[in-house]
């Protein structure tokens, strides 16, 4: 799937965000090696720690559909600064990534920066630290 289509999926997910407390909508879209796509938006709650990040929603949809590998993930938010995945979401992405997984950080105009997960989260802890887990070297 093209980068433009994946960006459009992330932007559409951001438009569905439920963010009445922060006023900061975020969207995410995942492409798997099979060509399947999944998206998610942040969902806030009056009890702030109970909210859910966009990346977590997209990953949950992916797992629910029986997929387990992220090839590309697009994350979009508003503002001038890069809206990169939070620490918790970096770890969530890591769980389902390969060394080639690309994280595309987007703004309203499109992709601003693309990194591999290893560039975004160097020296990470993941499934390969346990016997039989996948590797993220």
Residue of 55, 67, 95, 109 marked active site: 55
Residue listed under structure tokens 């998610």: 40
pLDDT score at 49: 86
DSSP-assigned letter for residue 36 = -
Q: Where are the domains of the chain?
A: 3-129
What is the structure's pLDDT at 124? 87
CB contact at 8 A, 13 and 27 = yes
pLDDT score at 125: 86
For residues 79 and 43, is the Cβ–Cβ distance under 8 A?
Answer: no
- Along the 137 residues of the chain, how does pLDDT read in single tens digits? 899 999 999 999 999 999 999 999 999 999 999 999 999 999 999 998 899 999 999 999 999 999 999 999 999 999 999 999 999 999 999 999 988 899 999 999 999 999 999 999 998 888 888 865 555 54
pLDDT score recorded for residue 132: 59
What is d(CA 133, CA 58) in angstroms, rounded to the nearest whole number? 22
Token pair in block for residue 4: 């433009």
Residue 130 is predicted with a pLDDT of 87
Identify the pLDDT of residue 97.
Answer: 95
Active site residue 109: no
Q: How would CATH label the architecture of 3-129?
A: 3-Layer(aba) Sandwich (3.40)
Q: What is the pLDDT of residue 46?
A: 95
């Amino acid at each position: 799937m093209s980068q433009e289509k994946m960006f459009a999926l992330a932007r559409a997910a951001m438009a569905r965000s439920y963010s009445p407390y922060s006023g900061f909508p975020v969207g995410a879209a995942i492409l798997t090696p099979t060509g399947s796509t999944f998206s998610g938006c942040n969902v806030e709650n009056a009890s702030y720690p109970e909210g859910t990040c966009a990346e977590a929603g997209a990953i949950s949809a992916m797992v629910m559909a029986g997929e387990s590998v992220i090839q590309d993930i697009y994350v979009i938010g508003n503002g001038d600064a890069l809206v990169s995945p939070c620490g918790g979401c970096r770890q969530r992405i890591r769980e389902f990534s390969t060394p080639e997984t690309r994280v595309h950080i987007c703004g309203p105009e499109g992709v601003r920066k693309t990194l591999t997960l290893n560039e975004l989260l160097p020296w990470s802890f993941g499934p390969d630290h346990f016997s039989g887990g996948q590797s993220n070297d």
